[in-house]
Structure 1
Amino acid sequence: MNIPYRSALIIGAGPGISASLTRRLRAANIPVIIAARNVDKLASLVDETGAIALPVDATDPRQVETLFAQADARIGAPEIVAYNASGELRGPITELDPIAVDRAVAVSALGAFYVVQQAARRMAPAGNGAILMTGSTASVKGFAGSSPFAMAQFAMRGLAQSAARELTPKGIHVAHFIIDGAVRAGLDDRATAPDSLLDPDAIAQSYVDVLRQPRSAWSWEIELRPWVEKF
């Protein structure tokens, strides 16, 4: 079954899940824009796949609005929007810098909202589209020393659940992915711990499988973990 969407925008792009998803979508001849604060790190992925790299700070609603306008002009209104950005800040509650906490929460929570809002404004009139959001173990479980990350990830999950209930009847597939474990970063990981790390290519395949789901059986949330991960 082909992917039933014609264009994609991936925000918070990097060398892991986003890169693997970009490769999958480009292999299906879907034009892809990859966006990040630092687009220099995306040069090799652009060369490899032909994706378009654009800069954005997702915590700035004006930059997000500009990014979507650029996407409209370059590939048409994106029918797949994936939000993979997160602000990871860890440390004892008594020692955390409030300004740094504000920034970390803004990336996962406010940034996700700004992106979902812009995506929904384009998808709702068409009655078509998919919004994918990447969460983590912290989306459902807060760990000691990780309160900012838990707050941010809980917020994103709440946004995804609310958006799914609001937008699904309008033909927009909203899905949240709980990545319950560490993701392989390179070949060294494969050699030292082949079973304990999630393969980004396998994660991307799950994203594509969700994109292919018939409307009569849509998932709003998927959990992914290695078979040896404890949960």
Structure 2
Amino acid sequence: MTARTAIVVGVGAQQGLGAALCRRFAAQGYHVLVAGRTEAKLNKVVATIRAAGGSAEAVRTDATREADVLRLFDRGMSPGDGRAPVDLIVSNPGNNQRLDFREVSVETFEDFWRAGCLSGFLVGREAARRLVPFGRGTVIFTGASASLRGKPGFAHFAAAKAGLRAIAQSMAREYGPFGLHVAHVIIDGGIDGERLHSRFPQLVQERGENGLLSTEAIAEAYWQLHCQHPSAWTQELDLRPFKEQF
């Protein structure tokens, strides 16, 4: 059977969501283009996948740069070695930091918008350009609780994530009838990954067992979105630990 191709944009540490998505798709027989800004981290993820018998390659990509995204999709459409072109894409870049609104500079606001919204526009636009003519494919955007509401100290982050959600909704309405499944996943809670463990170890301890979102569990949800029958597509899915209040 011809191996299919997936693109995961926004891959960082081995213990992050992007890496977990790459491993999950590779386990299903996909050749995964592992895209992110830090080559050393990408290579570690690729090595882990290959050691487990999967297929992957690193593509250094700054998702806020149009030229990088175009090059990534060019590779996805012509993956080589008899592989089928890309039909599964995840836009996962993101950053988050609590900041006093009065202290947010124009440069900081723009940096968050570029990472949280512009990157999704570039990935989404190229996905539509490349896949709609084939009448198939899945595009999934990683959102956050900030996609729905702005909390104190997170105006810059919420503005970017709300914009990303609007892009996903517009794409779904425009291209769903042409066979492109566009989904937006709201991650409502802390992710049990390297970022929280390194920056907020006390929070990890306080949350206890299953108090943070497992990266592998999130990746499974993304995979199930891709597997949905076109008669019952999910456009938006929210995921949170059972302990999380909402």
1:199 corresponding residue in structure 2: 214
* Kept in 2: contact 1:87–1:105 (CA 8 A): no
Compute the displacement of 1:190 (Å): 7.9
CA distance in 2, matches of 1:56, 1:90: 26
Q: Report 1:87-102 matches (<5 A).
A: 87-102=95-110
1:215 corresponding residue in structure 2: 230
Compute the displacement of 1:141 (Å): 1.6
CA distance in 1, matches of 2:130, 2:193: 34
1:116 corresponding residue in structure 2: 124
1:134 corresponding residue in structure 2: 142
2:73 corresponding residue in structure 1: 68
Compute the displacement of 1:192 (Å): 6.7
CA distance in 2, matches of 1:40, 1:167: 36
Aligned length: 227
Change in Cα spacing, 1:205 to 1:191, as seen in structure 2 (3 Å) is farther
CA distance in 1, matches of 2:106, 2:43: 34
**What's the TM-score, normalizing by structure 2?**
0.87
- Which stretches in structure 1 are left out of the alignment for 5+ residues? none
Q: Report 1:137-216 matches (<5 A).
A: 137-185=145-193, 189=204, 193-216=208-231
The DSSP-based 3-state class of the residue aligned with 1:35 is strand
1:48 corresponding residue in structure 2: 48
CA distance in 1, matches of 2:207, 2:118: 37
CA distance in 1, matches of 2:95, 2:159: 11
CA distance in 2, matches of 1:190, 1:91: 24
* Kept in 2: contact 1:109–1:155 (CA 8 A): yes
Deviations 1:133-164 (A, max 9, x none): 00011111211011110000000001011110
RMSD over equivalenced CA pairs, Å: 1.8
> Which amino acid is the alignment partner of residue 30 of structure 1?
Y
The DSSP-based 3-state class of the residue aligned with 1:217 is coil
CA distance in 2, matches of 1:125, 1:72: 12
Change in Cα spacing, 1:190 to 1:78, as seen in structure 2 (3 Å) is farther
Compute the displacement of 1:22 (Å): 1.2
Deviates more, 1:118-127 or 1:19-28: 19-28
Q: Deviating runs (4+, > 6 A) in structure 1?
A: none
Identity of aligned pairs, percent? 35
* Kept in 2: contact 1:58–1:114 (CA 8 A): yes
CA distance in 2, matches of 1:213, 1:190: 36
> Is residue 2:26 matched to residue 1:18?
no
* Kept in 1: contact 2:139–2:181 (CA 8 A): yes
CA distance in 2, matches of 1:153, 1:6: 30
**What's the TM-score, normalizing by structure 1?**
0.92
2:53 corresponding residue in structure 1: none
* Kept in 1: contact 2:9–2:34 (CA 8 A): yes
